[in-house]
Each structure stands twice: as C-alpha cells, then as structure tokens.
Amino acid sequence: MTGNLLEIRDLHKSYGDVEVLKGVDCTMVQGDVISIIGSSGSGKTTMLRCINMLEEFQGGSIRIDGQEIGYETVGGQRRRKSEKEIARQRALTGMAFQQFNLFPHMSAARNVMLGLMKVKKLSKEEARSIAEKWLDRVGLRARADHFPGQLSGGQQQRVAIARAIAMNPKLMLFDEVTSALDPELVNEVLQVIKTLAQEGMSMLLVTHEMRFAYEVSNRVIFMNQGRIGEEGNPREMFHKPRTERLSEFLKTSSFN
Amino acid sequence: MGYTLNFAAVWRSFDLLLEGLALSLALAFAAILIGAVIGLFTAFCLISKHGLARRPAGIYVTIIRNTPILVLVLFTYFALPQLGFRLGKIESFVFTLALYSGAYLAEVFRAGLLSIPAGLREAGLAIGLTEMQIRTSIIAPLMFRNVLPSLSSTIISLFKDTSLAAAIAVPELTFEARKINVETFRVIETWIVASCLYVVTCSILAALMRAVERRLSLPR
C-alpha cells in the first residue's frame, strides 16, 4: 500500500492493431486536481475511460485506493473481473461526459436518484433528499423536476455532475465536459467544478480549456501520441514547457 | 341487380358478432402480451455481440417472418399433435400468434434499441449500474417510447391476424360472421357489418395508442 488514491502503471491499450496508450504511468493522491491536455487522438480520453473500465485495456494496471481495477491475475493468467465486481468498482469513480448523457425520460432529480437507489440501495426518500442537496449545490434545486429536454446544455451538464458526485465517488473523472457547450454556458459548468476542487474533491479532467486547467489544477499532464509527454505544475508547464511538442501545442491552443 | 340490402337477419345475430369480436380482442391481447416478452428478449439477443445469442434469435425471426401466418396456424394445430404436442384450438392459436408477434415485435424493438445513444449505457455503467439494471431502467423504457408509432401499426396488424383463427374454427369475429353468412345467406350485409366492426376496433386501438404516445412523450 502506497497511500496513493490512483496508481496507473504501464497502461497499454490498443484498438486492434492501433496502440493508443503506449505505457502510461500516473499517480495521484487524495485532493489532487489533475488536468490532462493534449491534441485529439493523443489518448487522454481513452486513459480516463480505462480508469472506470468503459474501455478494456490489454496491459498494465490501474489501482484506486489500492484496489486493482478491472482485472485480476489468477494462476499467472490475467482475466477480467466479474461484471458485478466491475460495476462495484466503477462506483469508486464518478464520470461526467462531453455529451452529458442524462437519461432523457427521467427528471433531473430522478437522474441523480437512480444510482443512489439501484446501486447504493437507498430508499426513495433518502435518495431524493441527497439528490436535492446536490442539485442545490450545482444551483439547480428549482429545476429538480425538469426533464433534460427542458434544460440548457449547461444545466444538463451540471445535473450530470450532480448525478456523478451524489454517488460519493473517491475520484471524479471529467471528460471534456465543456466541449459540447455554447461558449456562454461554459463558465457555469467550470464554476461548479472549481468549487468542488476547492472543497478537496480529487479529480482528473480531460480538457481543452487551458486557462481553466491552469487555474484549477495542481498538476497538468500533457499527453502526446499515447504517452505522457510532459507533466508538472501548471505554472511551469504553461510558462516554461520543456518539450518542443508541448510548446507547439500551447501555441495552437487557447492559452495565451 | 335486384339485390335489396336487408340487415335484419344480421342484427338478430349481432350479439354473436360481438362475442366473436371480444374473443378476437382477447386472442390478440394474450398473444401480443406473450409476444412482447419474446420480442424484447429476442431483440436484445439480436443486438448482442455474442453469436450464441444472436444467431438463434436471427434464425427464429427469419423462419417466422418468411412463413405465412396461416401456414403457421395450420401447422401448429394439425401437424404438432402428430409430434405429440397437442393444444386446444384457442391455446394453439394464441401460441402461434404469440410466436409470430414475437418475431415481428423483435424487429420493431431492435430498431428502437439501435436508436438509443451508446452514451446512456455508459452513463449507467459509470454510476455502477449492472447491464441488466441499465436495460430495465434506461434502455427498455426509452426504446418503448421510440417504437410506439411503429408498435401501434404492428399491434393493429396482429389484431387483424386473429381473423385467421377462423381457419381452425376458433369462434372469433370472422368465424361468427361466416356462420351467420351461411345461416342467413345475407352475404353482403354480414361482411359489411363484420368489416365495420374491424374498422371501428382498429380505429379505437390506434386512438388508444396515440393517447399512450402523448402521455409518455417527454416534456421539452
């Protein structure tokens, strides 16, 4: 046991013949806020999705709080854990997606309640009160009974964040959560994430918002062609990039 | 053309037609209910990535959809007893229509399942739901809403297929109409009335389905 919240060792992931992660190592401790930046196709979203087993991976290991995620080695053979066990492990993390992915046939409150009732086995009343608390926290208490189709993109994303975080995950994964939003709605979502970060929530964020990554994270990882190209604190990374690739990337990105 | 329409004889037996209609509805209801369960299960098999689930489901749907329902009805009622599988007339017909509905509804449901964005399943997985919980709480309810318009026409079509039960003397609407026809010789009147009963019933079914659709439509 190392006391690390997340420990990724030599992570390899391929789609057929195409290797998209070529040996990624990463550790984070409780309270870390890490932004993952890089051009599209560099493997940052894939890395995030391996952490909660939305993607299978072929080599390396991921541990959350010391628990090996997704796979176990039995008699020298690496094999996938049972679906039930994987489902349980997925609840260690919460995830917010680029496309929000709210369940369109459920109100905002029901979206948040579903996992609480089905996974945490809470009663409807308990789930409702937790849902209301979190919707309040993201500024949407008054919209609890609205359906996703009645909410703006920014509001939907905030509900999606509430849905993930209400499950009390050890680690939040944010996958380009502002990319699908109209520019004027980006800020309300970033503000919610910022507040959560300040309260000590551990997070991994894949983002194209360089200014935000700079402000909110205590560490930045630059992914390049399936590997970690560079990592460090945001001040050094953004002002004194050590590699040519990162400095090129920052020139073409919105950070200036 | 000296034919004068005279509905009196048909009216005298109208209660028989209504009884027949009630049985037609009951047959359709039972068959579609069982068929919906078969169809839902089959639809999930059809989109499964496991060949062991997908292939048998595909074979079932192909065989049923490429065989005329009348042939299936006659086969179940006359041929299966030779193989030791004996059912009463009504049970035999419900069994056949249920299998038949299952294949058609499977295709309807499959199309509905394919229209659901993959992201919703992933969102379910991400909060720790199992595949089965995702199917019952998210996928199936959304799929059902998606397919309501085509479900409506399939249900009406299946209801009309109950008229084929007349072929094995199940006393549903068509069978009763034919009986009245033979007894009264009022050919035109009998079939006009029977047709009207089908039209009215189908229209009511369609209106009911539209009401369900409105009721379940998502607010936006």
Measured between beta carbons, the chain A residues lying within 8 angstroms of B219 are 146-147, 149-150
pLDDT at B103 over 90: yes
Position A254 scores a pLDDT of: 64
pLDDT at A204 over 80: yes
Position B5 scores a pLDDT of: 85
Position B114 scores a pLDDT of: 93
pLDDT band per the 50, 70, 90 thresholds, residue B46: very high
Position B186 scores a pLDDT of: 87
Q: Is B101:B158 a contact under the CB 8 Å cutoff?
A: yes
pLDDT at A6 over 90: yes
Greatest distance between any 2 Cα atoms in chain B: 77
pLDDT at B220 over 80: no
Q: How far is A246 from chain B (nearest CA, A)?
A: 31
Q: Is A52 helix (H, G, I), strand (E, B) or coil?
A: coil
pLDDT at A243 over 80: yes
Q: What mean pLDDT value characterizes chain A? A: 93
> B125 and A54: CB-CB below 8 Å?
yes
pLDDT at A98 over 90: yes
Position A253 scores a pLDDT of: 81
Interface test with B, best of A55, A99, A113 (most B CBs within 10 A): A99
Position B4 scores a pLDDT of: 83
pLDDT band per the 50, 70, 90 thresholds, residue A76: confident
Q: pLDDT digit string (tens) for A46-58?
A: 999 999 999 999 9
Q: pLDDT digit string (tens) for B141-189?
A: 999 999 999 999 999 999 999 999 999 999 999 999 999 999 888 889 9
Q: pLDDT digit string (tens) for B55-71?
A: 999 999 999 999 999 99
Give me the domain span that covers residue A66: 1-89+200-255
> B129 and A119: CB-CB below 8 Å?
yes
Q: Is residue A21 in some structural domain?
A: yes
Interface test with A, best of B127, B137, B144 (most A CBs within 10 A): B127
pLDDT band per the 50, 70, 90 thresholds, residue A2: low
Q: pLDDT digit string (tens) for B7-44?
A: 888 888 899 999 999 999 999 999 999 999 999 999 99
Q: Is B140:B40 a contact under the CB 8 Å cutoff?
A: yes
Phi, psi of B193 (to 5 degrees): -65, -45
Q: Is A148:A111 a contact under the CB 8 Å cutoff?
A: yes
pLDDT band per the 50, 70, 90 thresholds, residue B3: confident
B124 bridge partner residues: none
Please tell me the CATH code under which domain B7-216 is placed. Answer: 1.10.3720.10
Q: pLDDT digit string (tens) for A166-187?
A: 999 999 999 999 999 998 899 9
Amino acid at residue number B48: S
> A84 and B130: CB-CB below 8 Å?
yes
pLDDT band per the 50, 70, 90 thresholds, residue A255: low
> B120 and A90: CB-CB below 8 Å?
no
Between residues 108 and 127 of chain B, which touch chain A (CB distance below 8 Å)?
117, 119-120, 122-127
Query: Residues of A47-85 as b/e, b for ≥16 C-beta within 10 angstroms?
Result: bbbbbbbbbebebbbbbbeeeebbbeeeeeeeeebeeee
Of B120, B128, B220, the CB nearest to A115: B128
pLDDT band per the 50, 70, 90 thresholds, residue A256: low
Measured between CA atoms, the residue of chain B closest to residue A89 is B128
Residue with tokens 């579903």: A114
> B128 and A163: CB-CB below 8 Å?
no
| Domain total in chain A | 1
Measured between beta carbons, the chain A residues lying within 8 angstroms of B119 are 97, 99, 101
pTM above 0.90, yes or no: no
Residue with tokens 């066990």: A85
pLDDT band per the 50, 70, 90 thresholds, residue A79: very high
pLDDT at A191 over 60: yes
B218 closest CA partner among B120, B166, B157, B141: B141
What's the Cα-to-Cα distance from B87 to each of A16, B9, B84, rounded to whole Å? 52, 35, 10
Position B132 scores a pLDDT of: 93
**Rounded to an integer, what distance in angstroms lies between the CA atom of residue B185 and that of residue B173?**
17
What's the Cα-to-Cα distance from A47 to each of A24, A197, A238, A253, B187, rounded to whole Å? 8, 21, 22, 21, 75
Q: Is A12 helix (H, G, I), strand (E, B) or coil?
A: strand
- Compute the average pLDDT of residues A213-232: 93
Position A85 scores a pLDDT of: 94
